[in-house]
Amino acid sequence: MTTATVDAVVIGAGPNGLVAANALADAGWDVLLLEANDVVGGAVSSADVTAPGFHTDMFSAFYPLAAASQVIKNLDLTDHGLTWVQAEKVMAHTLPDGGSAVLERDPASTAAGLETFGKGDGQAWLDMFEGWLRIRDPLLDAMFTPIPPVRAVLKLLGRTKPAGLLDLARLAVLPVRRLGMENFRGVGGPLLLTGNAMHADVPPDAAGSGIFGWLLAMLGQDVGFPVPQGGAQNLAFALQRRFESRGGQVRTGARVSSVLVSGGRARGVRTEDGTAIKATRAVVADVVAPVLYRDLVGLEHVPPKVGESLHRFHWDNPTLKINWALDRPLAWKAAGATGAGTVHFGTDLDGFVDFAADLSVGRQPVHPFVLFGQMTTADPTRSPAGTESTWAYTHVPREMSEDRIRLDEHVRRVESHLEQVAPGFGSSIITRFVQYPNDLEASDANLVNGAINGGTSYPHQQLVFRPIPGLGRPETPIQGLFLASASAHPGGGVHGACGWNAATSALHSQGPLRMVRRQLTGTAWDRLLRS
């Protein structure tokens, strides 16, 4: 049964699918966005799951990447009902002895705090931040545009000169532990850098973790960790409203079961209820790469090398998320954590390495590293006055991701660590709502076994290796099919770049240079995959 013919179908209304749909609609295309869930947003979603009046962000919650992303900024979402708010302090890392390193809104205040950890560390922070400001714009351009980002790299070179570019290249492979040691005497600066690095899954002593820690910490210093007023869902709703205001159509409760391929070209999609939708120009998939190729397309339609590479696809670690409604704000031992939207705890500086090693060898971490959100602190509309809506997440080894007994024990472990750093926490709990790794996947098919970034952030699956060794671009070996999810370069996080890049590639594939482009990408895929 065919019910529609449109210019483009976008599969999946996560932030990347929503951004892609907006970009295509802006170009005047007739676009249908199909979403499996009953609401749009993917991992940008909120619900009242703990107690009445408490709003919980079910997945992502803090949006420095969105605030810094030119893609999101250009969409003018504030005209579509989005209001950004944020906590008085960006983030804090607390230690059981009551110490804390704090990322304040104001760089001088962050520096003053870090100076108490080591003489000269305050200035080291300010120097690092000044270096960031010098290269921020071309660097973000280089990261968020498709490979090869020639223009952005040339601009970057203009700012840094060759020696600076070499330093940046070194930073790109530096372990965050080493980055901390090279720049700071005390543990304050390294705690901030390492905690931020751990938002990705690269261990602190492994190549590639430094740039994540540096990027997120510098972004935090620059734009803070903002949140959408009223809940993460409001970011997704603003994207939906903008798309619909441009004539785009959203169909929720519509899971795509296959991409229709014939003659090496994507012709449309079929949904689970058997409806076929023709797409005359493009199918843009906000779907993780292994699922897209194996389940929706079918490996028979792609060169055998794609299947072989997918066999080696490296997922990021499973996630265990716990949400609480609290009858009062936390009484942190460390004053620094009061007023911070994000709080990190559970490990000291060496403990990060132990935690990553535990994940790597499949051991249940004794001291889990925990990311904690004080959402009412960040946005007072999240729960009744005098209460706090909170969540925590930590990663668990793949080996225990389905073991309820150990996962429940892990929940208790996280709570007992919280009790140490915020005495009285336990007695403030009104209700708790746990999301096990399987629950995350059940609510968003892209979160396979609780992986939050569409595949690992290790260097072996970044740039031209993302999602599989190839072009590192949104084009796929199937003409007219574009990969828009976080499995594509530049990867996880809510920045919209994967969606934007997929949409612009789709638009270019229909532009005046389409034959040249098709020839170039087609030949490149042939060389890489069919040899």
Q: How far is the CB of 182 from ligand FAD (least distance, A)?
A: 27
Are the beta carbons of 503 and 211 closer than 8 angstroms?
no
Q: Which residue has the tokens 């009061």?
A: 338
87 touches ligand FAD by CB under 6 A:
no
Tokens representing residue 116 in the block: 């108490």
Radius of gyration of the CA atoms of the chain, in A: 23
One character per residue 275-304, x = contact with ligand FAD (rule: CB under 6 A): -----------xx-----------------
One character per residue 230-249, x = contact with ligand FAD (rule: CB under 6 A): --------------------
Interface residues for ligand FAD in 409-468 (CB under 6 A)? 440, 444-447, 452-454
Among 13-21, 72-80, 161-169, 408-416, the segment contacting ligand FAD (CB under 6 A): 13-21
Where would I find the beta strands (DSSP E) of 337-491?
340-345, 370-374, 388-395, 429-435, 481-483
Nearer to ligand FAD, 2 or 116 (CB): 2
Cα separation of 414 and 408, whole Å?
Answer: 10
493 touches ligand FAD by CB under 6 A:
yes
The one-character DSSP state at 418 is H
Q: Which residue has the tokens 């005497």?
A: 185
- CB environment 377-401: b (16+ within 10 A), e (fewer): bbbeebbeeebbbbbbbbbbbbebb
63 touches ligand FAD by CB under 6 A:
yes
Nearer to ligand FAD, 124 or 497 (CB): 497
Among 54-62, 163-171, 200-208, 420-428, the segment contacting ligand FAD (CB under 6 A): 54-62
Neighbours of 310 (CB within 10 A): 18
Give the SS3 label for residue 375.
Answer: helix
Among 30-38, 136-144, 375-383, 512-520, the segment contacting ligand FAD (CB under 6 A): 30-38
**Helix or strand holding residue 305 (H, E):** helix 304-311
Distance of CA 188 to the CA centre of its chain: 25
Position with the least CB separation from ligand FAD: 14
Nearer to ligand FAD, 160 or 501 (CB): 501
37 touches ligand FAD by CB under 6 A:
yes
| 3-state SS, one letter per residue, for 213-264 | HHHHHHHHHHHCCCEECCCCHHHHHHHHHHHHHCCCEEECCCCEEEEEEECC
475 touches ligand FAD by CB under 6 A:
no
319 touches ligand FAD by CB under 6 A:
yes
* 6, 44, 111, 259: which one binds ligand FAD (CB under 6 A): 44
* 114, 486, 497, 506: which one binds ligand FAD (CB under 6 A): 486
251 touches ligand FAD by CB under 6 A:
no
Nearer to ligand FAD, 206 or 447 (CB): 447
* 11, 90, 92, 297: which one binds ligand FAD (CB under 6 A): 11
Give the SS3 label for residue 149.
Answer: coil
Cα separation of 183 and 181, whole Å?
Answer: 6
Q: Which residue has the tokens 């970057």?
A: 156
Nearer to ligand FAD, 160 or 505 (CB): 505
216 touches ligand FAD by CB under 6 A:
no
One character per residue 362-401, x = contact with ligand FAD (rule: CB under 6 A): -------------------------------x--------
Q: In sequence order, which ranges of 422-496 are alpha helices (DSSP H)?
A: 437-443
Name which of 275, 114, 98, 283 is nearest 190 in CA terms: 114
190 touches ligand FAD by CB under 6 A:
no
Q: How far is the CB of 426 from ligand FAD (least distance, A)?
A: 23
Within 8 A by CB and 6+ apart from 317, the residues are 201, 359, 395, 396, 397, 398, 450, 451
Among 61-69, 302-310, 456-464, 518-526, the segment contacting ligand FAD (CB under 6 A): 61-69
State the helix-helix crossing angle for 176-183 and 188-197, rounded to 10 degrees.
160
17 touches ligand FAD by CB under 6 A:
yes
Q: How far is the CB of 293 from ligand FAD (least distance, A)?
A: 13
Nearer to ligand FAD, 12 or 122 (CB): 12
**Number of residues located near ligand FAD, criterion CB under 6 A:** 41
Q: Is the CA virtual torsion 63, 12, 54, 201 positive or negative?
A: negative
Strand duo 429-435 + 319-326: pairing: antiparallel
Nearer to ligand FAD, 55 or 321 (CB): 321
Tokens representing residue 213 in the block: 């820690």
13 touches ligand FAD by CB under 6 A:
yes
Q: How far is the CB of 233 from ligand FAD (least distance, A)?
A: 12
174 touches ligand FAD by CB under 6 A:
no
Q: How far is the CB of 16 from ligand FAD (least distance, A)?
A: 3
Q: How far is the CB of 274 from ligand FAD (least distance, A)?
A: 14
In single-letter form, the type of residue at position 146 comes to: P
255 touches ligand FAD by CB under 6 A:
yes
186 touches ligand FAD by CB under 6 A:
no
Cα separation of 363 and 148, whole Å?
Answer: 39
Report DSSP letters for 474-494, one per residue: SB-SSBTEEE-STTSTT-SSS
Q: What is the contact surface with ligand FAD in residues (CB under 6 A)?
A: 11-17, 34-37, 42-44, 59-63, 65, 255-256, 286-287, 319, 321, 393, 440, 444-447, 452-454, 485-486, 492-494, 498
